[in-house]
């Protein structure tokens, strides 16, 4: 049974600010024709340049996946890419008037809801999959990372994380079917350790961050004056760590929400192949660098007829 390619039934816009830049702007996801794939257009730049969401255009994986070419860059695309793949959108033009995708609550849920609001239509072209016919394995020993894909008639993904910390040790998450993405994966928010947060703050790297768009894990005892400083910085009456070592009494949606978020990131990064995959992926300690290197490996081993650029 064949499947048809899809796109949005109408345009839908999302306003917000970038996590690292703090710049406020608007992102609009627009319908696109068959075989267009996912592309981003910087409407704030001269000529409104377009960057295709493809592994060949990944230029950085430092705290997020960034794509770019000679004319423009778009930062932190992984959450909206995950939402597009999770909602099985094959073609879309994502217009954005800032350089970074809005962080919103740190998950993909806002983008999923926007896609639902727009609705989907089928196009007069069959959906093509990247078929895996051999086991492909990648290891990064210094990071204790191992990612593998095996042949399968459908896509599934299993992720294990381990930060070797009292508050965040080994966790696992599984996505057996892409149709489960909206409920089981999309709401899961990004996370950070307090010491990483402090480093980012001191280096002016999270101008758009607050305590509502990331889970902050505390793995050491924090003096009250430091807690007061964080409260003032993020405009909160007070902050403290709960019994699970999570700052600001943030309630986790799932006990394994961090692992589910890493799985979310990986869904977005894998979509940089330009087409959905049929294969079973297992990943131990993944991250954006490892994910994109693995995508490059798949691209080199599998014949991929990429969507045309016109």
Q: What are phi and psi of 196, to 5 degrees?
A: -70, -40
Cα torsion 18, 12, 84, 309 to 10°: value is -90
| Residues 115 and 83: beta-carbon distance below 8 Å | yes
d(CA 91, CA 37): 4
Rg of the chain in Å (alpha carbons): 19
Is 20 catalytic? The answer is no
DSSP state of 55: G
| Closest by CA position to 260, among listed 190, 187, 191, 185 | 185
156 — alpha (psi -120 to 50), left (phi > 0) or beta? Answer: beta
| Closest by CA position to 132, among listed 147, 145, 120, 119 | 147
Catalytic residue (one of 36, 261, 280, 288): 288
Residues designated catalytic: 288
């Amino acid at each position: 049974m064949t499947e048809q390619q899809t796109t949005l039934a109408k345009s839908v816009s999302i306003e917000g600010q970038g996590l690292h830049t703090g710049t406020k702007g608007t992102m609009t996801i627009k319908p696109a024709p068959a075989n267009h794939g996912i592309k981003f257009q910087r409407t704030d730049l001269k000529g409104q340049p377009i960057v295709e969401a493809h592994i060949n255009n990944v230029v950085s994986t430092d705290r997020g996946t960034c794509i770019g070419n000679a004319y423009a860059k778009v930062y932190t695309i992984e959450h909206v890419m995950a939402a597009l793949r999770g909602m099985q959108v094959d073609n879309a033009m994502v217009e954005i008037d800032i350089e970074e995708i809005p962080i919103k609550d740190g998950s993909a849920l806002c983008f999923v809801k926007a896609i639902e609001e727009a609705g989907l239509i089928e196009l007069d072209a069959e959906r093509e999959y990247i078929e895996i016919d051999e086991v492909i394995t990648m290891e990064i020993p210094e990071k204790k990372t191992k990612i593998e894909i095996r042949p399968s008639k459908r896509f599934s993904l299993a992720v294990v994380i381990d930060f070797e910390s009292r508050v965040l040790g080994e966790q696992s998450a599984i996505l057996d079917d892409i149709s489960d993405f909206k409920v089981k994966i999309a709401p899961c928010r990004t996370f950070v350790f307090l010491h990483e947060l402090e480093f980012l703050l001191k280096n002016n790297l999270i101008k758009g961050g607050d305590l509502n768009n990331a889970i902050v894990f505390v793995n050491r005892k924090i003096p009250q004056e430091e807690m007061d400083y964080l409260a003032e910085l993020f405009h909160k009456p007070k902050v403290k760590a709960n019994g699970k070592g999570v700052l600001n009494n943030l309630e986790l949606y799932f006990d394994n929400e961090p692992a589910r978020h890493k799985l979310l990131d990986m869904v977005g990064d894998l979509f940089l192949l330009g087409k959905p995959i049929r294969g079973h992926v297992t990943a131990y300690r993944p991250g954006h660098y490892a994910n994109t290197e693995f995508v490059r490996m798949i691209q080199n081993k599998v014949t991929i007829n990429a969507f045309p650029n016109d």
